[in-house]
Amino acid sequence: MPAKHKVQKMLKKIKAFLDSDYREQVARKEKILDVLKRLKKRTKAIERQLAAQEEGADNTALLDELELIKAQRKKAIKVIKSIKEEHSQS
């Protein structure tokens, strides 16, 4: 008889196969994770630019962009958490 863990794993695979909404959410989560990685790289690049530059108008624009990116990252993380909660409740 298969172990309990193996049975649960098989059930998850069957559910994923039958539930197209689940597959769409997984694909959406993967895309969001990719965007998060790119935003993190952009955040680090802006921080390097800020460290290299002196005070001025360029700093203000970079700081504004940095705040916008941080807000977008927080939003994306909330979406990922909600997707995870939906999967755990199912």
Q: Where are the domains of the chain?
A: 20-89
Local structure of residue 53 (DSSP, 8 states): S
Per-residue pLDDT of 49-78, as tens digits, reads 988 887 766 788 889 999 999 999 999 999
64 vs 9: CA distance, rounded Å: 46
pLDDT for 24 equals 84
Whole-Å CA distances, 41 to 23, 37, 45, 78: 27, 6, 6, 19
Residue 32 above 60 pLDDT? Answer: yes
